[in-house]
Amino acid sequence: MISGTTALFVWTLRADNRSVWPHVVRGAFAFMMLFTLALAWTDAFGTTRIGLRFFETICGLNILIISVAGISYFSTAVTEEKDAGTLALLQLAGMSPLAITLGKSTSRLVSSLMLLAVQVPFSFLAVTLGGVLWQQLLAAWCALAAWLILVANAALLCSARCATSGRAAAVAGSSAILFFLLPAVTRTTTAAIPPGLLPNAVLTILTNLPGALEIVSPYRRIDQILNDWQNTGFFSSQFTLSLLLAATCFAVSTLRLTAWARNASDTDSQSGPAKRRLPVERCWKLPLTWRDFHFYTGGWPFFTMKFLAGIAVYAAFVAIQQVSTGRWNIVLENDFGWTAMLVYASVLTVEVLLYASGSLFSELRQSTQSTIAMTPCSAVSILLQKAAGCLIAVLPAVFWSMFTLAVSHTSVTTLVDMDTIVVWGLMLIFSSHVAALFSLYTRWAALPLTVLVSFFAFFVIAGPVLTIPDVVDRIAITHNYRPSRLFAWTITAFWTWLFTLLPLQLWIRDQWIKLSRQ
C-alpha cells in the first residue's frame, strides 16, 4: 500500500532529478545571490548593515517568486491531468487520491524547497557583511519554507476544486491579490468610516481582519525577524499556523479529489452546443484571434465581468473618499488615486503574464501546434493573431488604468512620475515576451522564471531606458529644437523594441516553427 501510494511521487522526483531544467533554475537562484549582493553593496555603501540589506532583498524576491509560483506552477498540479483527460486513467490504474496528490503536488513542493535550500549557504555571507545574525537567517528561512508549504497546498486545493488550469490559476491569483491588498484596503476603509455608520460587530470584524491576515504574512514575519529580533523567537505563530493551514488544504484536497473530479467530468459530459448558456458569435476574419478570445480568455461574458468589476472598484474608492472627506468627487485625491492605480496596474500585470505564459503553452499541451501550422497562415501571422486575442481580453484593465491615470493624474504622480510609469509599461511588455518564450520550453514554471529574469533585467534595461529620453532632449536642444516628452519616449520605445523585443520575437518565432514541425 505504501509503495503503491508513493510510486508516482518517487517517479516524479527521479524525473525532476534527471531533467536539466531544474538544475539550471537552481543555478540561476545561486547567481541571484551574487547579483543581490552587488545591489546591496551599491545601496548601502558606507554603512555597516550591508548584510541586512542583502538578506532583505533575497527574502523579498523569494516571497514574490513563491507567490507567483502558486498562481502557475502549483495551481496546475491536478488540473493538468484534467485538461489532458488522464486523471480518470490514473484512477483506473488503482491510484488513490493520496497517491495522486503526493505525486502531482508534493513532488513539486520538494523541488521548490530545494530551491530554498540551495540559497541557504550563500545567505551566510550576510553575517560576514554585518547587520544580521545567523539565528535570524535560519528563522527567516523557516518562515519562507512555511510560506512555500502554505502556498503550494492552497494552490493544490484550487487545482483539485477547479475543472481547468485557467480557472485554478484565476482563483489562486485572485486569492493572492486579496491576501496582500485586503489588510491595507480594510485599514483605509475603517479609518474613513465615521463612528456609528456600521454596526459594532461588523466594525470589529473589519478592524481585526488585517491583524488576522498578517499572522501568516511572510512580509510581516521577515520584518519582525530582521528588525525586532529581541522580541521574537525562532518559531512563531506564522510558522505554526501556516503548516496547520497547509495540512488542512492538503487533507481537504485529498479527501474531496474523487468527488470534485467526478463533478467536473459530469459537467464536461453535459456541456455541448445544446447546453451552451451563451452563444458564441460567428468566426472573425482572424480565426485564431476569435478562438483565443472566446475559448481561452473567456470571451465577451468574462470581458464584461472584468469591465464591471473595474467600475465597482473605482466606485468603491470614490465612496470611501466621500465618506472620508465629506464631499463627492469623481477625481481621486491624496492616496486614493495612487492606490486605485496600483490595484489596476497589479491586475493588469498578473493578467498579461498569465495570458502570455499560457496562450502558446495551451497549444503545446493539447498537441495542436502542428494542426495550426497546416492552416494557410504564416508562423508570424499565427503568433500575432493569438497575441491579438489576449490583447483584447486585457482591454478592461488597460482602460481603467489609463482612466485612473488621466482623471486622478495629480494623485498618481505624487509618488511616481510619468517616466516611471512608462518604464513599467515597457518592462511589462518585455516580461510578456519572456513569459511566452519560457512557455515554449518549460511545462508550468514559465511564470516564476519570468519574474526571476525580469528582476535581473530591470536593472539592465531600466537605466538605459530612463537615460535615452534625456539624451534625445540634449541632442535636440543642440539643434535648436525642443521636442516634447512624448517624442523622446517614442524614440526610446523604438530602440527598446529594436535591441530587446525584436530578438525575443524572432526567438519565439523560430522556437514555435521548430515545435510545429514535430
- pLDDT at site 271: 45
Asked if residues 364 and 440 have their Cβ atoms less than 8 Å apart, the reply is yes
- pLDDT at site 276: 46
How many C-beta atoms surround the C-beta of residue 154 within 10 A?
25
Spatial separation of the C-alpha atoms in residues 25 and 469, rounded to whole Å: 35
- pLDDT at site 47: 57
Q: If 0-12 CB within 10 Å is exposed, 13-18 middle and 19+ buried, where does residue 23 land?
A: middle
How many C-beta atoms surround the C-beta of residue 314 within 10 A?
20
Which residue shows C-alpha cell 519565439? 508
> What residues have CB less than 8 Å from 181, skipping those under 6 apart?
343, 346
Q: What is the DSSP letter of 162?
A: S
Which residue shows C-alpha cell 524572432? 506
pLDDT tens, residue by residue, 421-467: 888 999 999 999 999 999 998 866 788 888 878 877 887 777 777 77
Positions of the chain with pLDDT lower than 70, given as ranges:
1-5, 21, 23, 26, 30, 37-48, 192, 196, 263-278, 443-444, 479, 482-484
DSSP characters over 350-411: HHHHHHHHHHHHHHHHTT-HHHHHTSSS-HHHHHHHHHHHHHHHTHHHHHHHHHHHHHTHHH
Distances (CA, A) of 271 to 276, 277, 320: 7, 9, 42
- pLDDT at site 234: 82
Q: Nearest-CA neighbor of 425 among 397, 446, 389?
A: 397
pLDDT tens, residue by residue, 351-367: 999 899 888 988 888 88
Residue ranges of domains in the chain: 1-16+27-263, 286-518
